[in-house]
Amino acid sequence: MAANAKRIKLNGSTRQAPKGSRALSKADEAETMEVTLRLRPKVSSVELDRLAAKLGETAPKKRQYLTRAELTERYGASPADVKKVEDFAHANKLTVKRAHLSSRVVKLTGAVEDVRKAFGVVLKKATFDGRTYRVRQGAVSIPKSLAGIVVGVHGIDNRPVAKPHLRQRRRAAARNAQDGSLTVAQIAKLYNFPSGLTGKGQCVAIIELNGFAHGKAADTGYEVSDLQKFFAQNGIAMPEVVSVGVDGGANLPGRPDGGDDEVTLDIEVAAAVARGARYAVYFAPNTTNGFIDAVKAAVHDDQRKPSVISISWGGPEDPFGHASTQFLAGLNEAFRDAALLGVTVCVAAGDDGAPDMGKQGWDGKPHTDFPSSSPYALACGGTKLVGSGATIESETVWNEGARDNGAGGGGVSNVFARPDYQAGASIPLSPKKKRGRGVPDVAGNADPATGYKIFVGGRNEVIGGTSAVAPLIAGLVALINEQLTKAANKTVGFVNPLIYAGSGPAAFRDITNGDNDVYGNLGKYAAGAGWDACTGLGVPDGKRLLSLLT
């Protein structure tokens, strides 16, 4: 395949310079970089969407999930397509590092200059938020012979694409024993989570994103000593936890301003609910490449076989060219694979209310957080929970305002169409007047004022945010999966169609008070009877949800 073959622009690959960034110089031409190419499946994406939708409408006991081997054979990448990509790599002085048919990716390595020429991109060094990144502008181009074969090219640009969705309460307030904060066990009891189940036999995958410094993954991780102290304080045996590195990611504690808090919160909340499960924490760089590869690594992990994935990272799906539509498509594709394999994906819906971004630089419009806006994600919104023992005194939409620790994310997607399972929900049109996917699906305690007691950084802390809700719900799913595995050797998998249909909404306690208009001037969105763009269907009653799904 000639290096100068006729070329076309890859649909959805256009990116813009980060808002507020400053270009420094050309990217280092001699630096070695890794690029991931996503390839088409053996059948059309439309057919796979139909297959996942049909599967979702079937009761879990009767579902026929694919094995990972079957997914590869029927819907993986074609060896012939991989061969064409290998020929392209050879012609452009790039090295094939790995080809994975099941997840439909080929990873290439090469010098920055060779990658730049191979994909026809402009690369610059740019600085923003105090760090320097390799940034591309415009679209990626590929040879015409690869048109329809290559559907995504990721990793050329290494700017961050997501942030952790957590909010930490002020330490002075957190020291007050009567401050309204709750242990995970107390929240589980208030939400009527089933007793007698521990998640035994299940593996919970947790996705975490490292920072990036000097060309390598940096910061973000957990200290084993923090976990040991937390579980000892809560009378729980230390669960099995393993760190899995993806694309150079690793357990690298050292970022107390968010990264370490996020990782530790995720593990401690999920494991305090499902104390008998195993936990695999997948670390990858905070890039389009890293995020997609981390999720695919978990979904296609044939060794640990996670049955539920928790993701507490995200960002607005459509502002300022922040990402690209090929990035959104890549993660959505990974979530769809999860559905076909019987894996549930729980995703935090964001902590900046309906705007879904900080006030500085906000465009005045509502935005939906991604990847919670994927129709294959179980999107987890936020509430403010006040209660004790088994009695809930009040529960409203989490909204403490922009200056007092944020509000639960929620809205209507401009990118993803309204899925069939939401046809009966009263979802308004999206900001661009489209019939879009409504977010969230479910909700749980997220207000840091009534937050979760965890142990991180060598001290007790109180942390909230929808970051806490995703692992809370993932822990509940692990409990339900334990019961369902015993009864029918099945897992819950793609749960969304089931909770919206028939008696599904009855498994949730509707939250009807409050709004997520965090800045107070948008007019969107307010809670009400039935589904709403603040708390979705409401807060799960654990035992009712167990009954519904098993």
Bridging pattern class, strands 7-9 and 22-26? unpaired
Alpha-carbon span 388 to 212, nearest angstrom: 42
Residue 319 confidence (pLDDT) above 70: no
Q: Is 89 left (phi over 0), alpha (psi -120 to 50) or beta?
A: alpha
Given 34, 219, 266, 395, the catalytic residue = 266
- The pLDDT tens digits for 128-138 are 877 888 888 89
The secondary structure of 47-58, three-state, reads: HHHHHHHHHHCC
Mean pLDDT of the 321-333 span:
87
What mean pLDDT, rounded, does the chain reach? 93
Given 261, 467, 517, 532, the catalytic residue = 467
* pLDDT value for 258: 66
Calculate what percentage of the chain has a pLDDT beyond 70: 95
Residue 521 confidence (pLDDT) above 60: yes
Q: What are phi and psi of 90, to 5 degrees?
A: -60, -40
Model's pTM, two decimal places? 0.96
* pLDDT value for 177: 41
Assess whether 441 carries a catalytic annotation: no
- Tell me how far CA of residue 209 lies from CA of 154, 162, 303, in angstroms: 16, 8, 22
Domains with residue ranges and CATH for the chain = 7-40+77-154 (no CATH), 163-549 (3.40.50.200)
Given 157, 262, 356, 395, the catalytic residue = 262
Eight-state DSSP code of residue 399: B
Hey, CA dihedral for 325, 432, 534, 176, is it positive or negative?
A: positive
Mean pLDDT of the 18-29 span:
76
Alpha-carbon span 495 to 419, nearest angstrom: 13
Assess whether 86 carries a catalytic annotation: no
Assess whether 266 carries a catalytic annotation: yes
- CA triple 444-446-452, angle to 5 deg: 105
- The pLDDT tens digits for 386-400 are 998 889 999 999 999
